[in-house]
């Protein structure tokens, strides 16, 4: 399983596998045909309030990431996160597509960390359950 990150403005390629848009807003100037998405999981994106706050305070990465992980515990986000885990289980390669100009600090990088099992969410419910089950599935595949 490979998890890749790619800006929505970069052209799709065969090596992308299943492309999943993880932004709440559709990227400007990109048509649905051009995007070639397998899914648009907008509930996985940060809330508008958090997104605008981080845009105004880009140096507050740690606070943004912590708040975003808490938002992923919302039931709507949990359902979309489970959809993402199911897609990752079903495909060899999944590319998380985002529109942010910041390549290292955006919500897609946080989601990739969750999928890779590198980072645990701040609570024991919500994404933590999905992370644990994803880790179990990964161990079972080995």
Task: Tell me the domain boundaries of the chain.
Answer: 2-141
Contact indicator for 126, 44 with CB cutoff of 8 Å: no
Which residues neighbour 46 within 8 Å (Cβ) at sequence distance 6 or greater? 24, 54, 64, 67, 68, 71, 107
Contact indicator for 139, 131 with CB cutoff of 8 Å: no
pLDDT per residue as tens digits for the range 91-100? 999 999 999 9
pLDDT per residue as tens digits for the range 6-52? 999 999 999 999 999 999 999 999 999 999 999 999 999 999 999 99
pTM over 0.95: no
Residue 88 pLDDT grade (very low, low, confident, very high; cuts 50, 70, 90): very high
Distance from C-alpha of 60 to C-alpha of 82, rounded to nearest angstrom: 28
Task: Reduce the DSSP state of residue 82 to 3 states and report it.
Answer: helix
The tokens for 110 are 């946080």
Contact indicator for 33, 55 with CB cutoff of 8 Å: no
**Beta pairing partners, 5:** 96
pLDDT confidence of residue 76: 87
Averaged pLDDT, 103-110: 95
> Could you tell me which residue, 32 or 135, shows the higher pLDDT?
32
- Residue where the block lists tokens 């708040």: 67
Residue 37 backbone dihedrals phi, psi, to 5 degrees? -95, 145
> Please, what is the average pLDDT of the chain?
86
């Amino acid at each position: 399983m490979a998890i890749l990150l790619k800006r929505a403005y970069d052209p799709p390629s065969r090596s992308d596998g299943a492309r999943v848009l993880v932004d709440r807003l559709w990227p400007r100037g990109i048509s649905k045909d051009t995007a070639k998405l397998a899914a648009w999981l907008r509930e996985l994106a940060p809330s508008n309030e958090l997104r605008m706050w981080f845009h105004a305070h880009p140096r507050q990465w740690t606070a943004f990431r912590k708040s975003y992980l808490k938002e992923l515990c919302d039931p709507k986000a949990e359902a979309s996160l489970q959809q993402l885990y199911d897609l990752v289980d079903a495909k060899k390669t999944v590319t998380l597509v985002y529109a942010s100009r910041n390549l290292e600090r955006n919500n897609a990088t946080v989601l990739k960390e969750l999928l890779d099992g590198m980072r645990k969410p701040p609570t024991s419910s919500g994404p933590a359950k999905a992370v644990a089950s994803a880790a179990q599935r990964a161990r079972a595949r080995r």
